A and B are shown apart, each in its own frame.
Chain A
Amino acid sequence: MDAPSYTLSKIAERDNLAVYELFFGPNHPGMHGNFGYVLEMIGTEIVKVRPNAGHLHRGFEKLMEQKLWVQNIALVPRICVVDPDPNEVAYCTAIEKIMGVDIPDRAKFIRTITLEMSRLTSFLMGMGALGAALGLYTPMYIMMADRDLILDLFEWLTGARIYHIFNIPGGVRNDLPEGWVERLNEVLDHLEKRLIEYDKLVFENPIIHKRLKGLGYISKEEAIRTGITGPNLRASGAAYDVRVDDPYAAYPYLDVKVITQDGGDALTRAVQVRLEFEETIKLIRQALKEMPDGDVRLNLGNLSMLKVPKGEAYAKVESSKGEFGYYVVSDGGLKPYRVGVRGPSLPAGLLYAQKHLPKMKIDDVAAWMASLAICPPDIDK
């Protein structure tokens, strides 16, 4: 998708106006992570944009070929910092598909619960970042404090706050500790109460409505064609959710409600996240209620000597930002032959930057980025 030719550059040529470069990132308070856009600007209006990627490039896909199957589990969550669990689950599910094993039901439910908790943390961060992009810092601080309550639970369960490394081929590392479920219920109650405050602060604020309405419009057909997934796609009116259309983990046993809205602009996307946040809380409650007893992992022998039989598989997981897909090829050895990762932020961060940013004022860039929930590490990989 080429940057559309824009008459402002012709006007600038005629009137001898200066076209200057403005670096929006990697060092910019409005940018998430080590990513940047080089904006060619006239006055405060953007004429042309060049995504400036590579600051976060760690060569994940190649690196995974050098490491043991189980070592890679420590590597994959780093592809999306704010929502790490979908990576682990997608990678492990792909391995299990190649091996042809079915993990215990309780492990499936625990995976589902951690996935949804991870979604909550990511949504809290996303909603806070949207507020901060528009200068509203109060909900950001409150949401970060609430996110910490979930991170505490993760620490209790897995020993780590951000990169949990909890899922392994054949299930999860350990069962839920005693008292953990009760605490999770308390936290969920707390978050539900807080939603009223979030609504008042962010989603009912007239200035937020004024600023986000009509910003970064994506139509349904266009979203499907360019590969936008997750809440962004559902905010454009397409009812597609991997949890329903190609269920994994415990989702076949659960009743997942797919919320869609017609609007496709930044405001609709923000409200979409807010609605799905509520739905996620309900889903965790449902999973806790229906969780069976039993083992949480299969005995696959010594995991560091794990040999995955020859074959290939693709596993996809619905993350808070869209669809994460892992294509894993094994040649029967101790290490993967090839791992391909499909991240959700690639079309939003690269294609739509070319489409939306020209003609946009510098005022809206941060809000546009936050509304599309662009996660730079998964662009760079």
Chain B
Amino acid sequence: MMAVLRVFLFGIFAIFIGLLFMGIGRKVIARIQLRYGPPFYQAFLDVGKLFARKSITHNFVMDLGMVMALGGLLATMLFVPIAGHVAVKTSTNLIVIMYLMAIGYLGMAMAVAASGNPNATIGVSRALTMMLGYEVPFFTVILGLIIVNGTSSLELISQSQAGSILNWNMIKFPLAFIAAEIALQAMMGEKPFDAMIAPAEIASGPMVELSGKYLGLAFLTHAVSIFVETAIIVNLFMGGASNIFTFVLKQFEIYLITIFIEAVFPRFKIEQAVKFLWTVPIGIAVLQLLLILL
């Protein structure tokens, strides 16, 4: 019973923080664009409004896919240590985390492909291509860290950086951090790697057929993905944290970097994006790997 409650609490926490980040991110972007911007709690209002609306479904696969997307990411969240706490006290294996994360995106792909809109289908095929693009450099980075620490447990990697700031992997392996940051930009689907949602090209792609509660679920999925992805980077490179407040603050720093890049970059075409991801971040990550090995 306690375990179920714990899992539930972790899920709510991830959604809350993710939506808060989304709202603050919108405000930050607005200020960069010399606008006033919506209030920082706008994302909560949006989700509340969307869940109060009537929604259109196309078929059963679409319903299932949306739930699978949110479920997949929430399941990933359970294996990510947050300031030393893990929802399910089994393992915090990085390979498992990366594998589970893909399930969320596959769920989204399933849902929007079932909607039958060509814009959505193009968007989803782009999203999956992009996944292929960013996972290779990210796995190269992870490989280096696993070799150094001799473990694939995210919790142990984060604990090994305890103590001073000089122990952080960010300082010890700056090249790996840069490569991971570029991959993270693509993972979050922020510019210049947002070819999958490109409103001017494919009318917002995957989101085009989602309405009401489905769009609300997509919002929540994005919120959890922000939480999970920033949490992984904080654990890998910034040494986790001793309390939850510091942890969220570190996550926010990482999110702020992606938002700043998002605000001033146009988007790559999908083939340009994958070409970039398979040359620049992989090059940096392999260089770091060689430095570690030699």
Interface residues of A (CB under 8 A from B): 20, 22, 28-30, 41, 44, 131-138, 141-142, 145, 201, 205, 207-208, 210-211, 361-367
Contact = CB atoms under 8 A, between A and B. Distances in A.
A208 B201 CA distance: 15
Contact of A30 (B118, B201, B268): B201
A61 B203 CA distance: 34
B191 A135 contact: yes
Interface in B104-161: 118-119, 122
B263 interface: yes
A30 B200 contact: yes
B202 A134 contact: no
Contacts, number: 75
B24 to A, nearest CB: 17
Given A137-B33, A141-B34, A207 B203 contact: no
A211 B33 contact: no
Nearest to B194: A135
Nearest to A200: B264
A131 B35 CA distance: 17
Nearest to A362: B201
A211 B269 contact: yes
Q: Is the interface of A mostly helix, strand, loop or mixed?
A: helix
A201 B266 CA distance: 9
A9 B201 CA distance: 22
Contacts of B200: 29-30, 132-135, 366-367
Interface string B252-283: 00000000000111111110100000000000
B198 interface: yes
Contacts of A363: 195, 198, 201, 269-270
Contacts of B266: 131, 134-136, 205, 207-208, 211
B204 interface: yes
A132 B33 CA distance: 13
B52 interface: no
B38 interface: no
B192 A138 contact: no
Contacts of A145: 34
B267 A135 contact: yes
B12 interface: no
B118 A29 contact: no
Contacts of B272: 207, 210-211
A363 B119 CA distance: 11
B199 interface: yes
Nearest to B267: A135
A141 B194 CA distance: 19
Contacts of B118: 20, 22, 41
Contacts of A361: 269
19 contacts: A29-B203, A30-B201, A135-B194, A135-B198, A137-B33, A138-B32, A141-B34, A145-B34, A201-B264, A207-B192, A207-B266, A211-B268, A211-B269, A361-B269, A362-B201, A363-B195, A364-B269, A366-B200, A366-B201
Nearest to B269: A363
Given A29-B204, A135-B191, A366-B201, 8 more contacts: A30-B199, A131-B266, A133-B200, A134-B266, A141-B34, A142-B34, A145-B34, A363-B195
Nearest to B117: A22
Given A29-B199, A363-B195, A44 B122 contact: yes
Contact of A362 (B35, B122, B204): B122
A207 B191 CA distance: 11
B267 A207 contact: yes
A131 B266 CA distance: 7
Nearest to B126: A44
Contacts of B263: 138
A131 B201 CA distance: 13
Contacts of B265: 135-136, 205, 207
Contacts of A366: 200-201
B261 to A, nearest CB: 12
A366 B195 CA distance: 13
Contacts of A211: 266, 268-269, 272
Nearest to A202: B266
B267 A138 contact: no
Interface in B7-35: 29, 32-35
A208 B268 CA distance: 9
A376 to B, nearest CB: 16
B31 to A, nearest CB: 11
B119 to A, nearest CB: 7
Contacts of B119: 22
Contacts of B33: 137-138, 141-142
Contacts of A142: 33-34
B251 to A, nearest CB: 24
A132 B118 CA distance: 22
Contacts of B268: 207, 210-211
A141 B270 contact: no
Nearest to A366: B200
A132 B34 CA distance: 16
- In this complex, which of B34, B119, B200, B272 has the most chain A Cβ atoms within 10 angstroms of its Cβ? B200
Contacts of A364: 269
Nearest to A370: B200
Contacts of A132: 200
A135 B269 CA distance: 11
Nearest to A131: B266
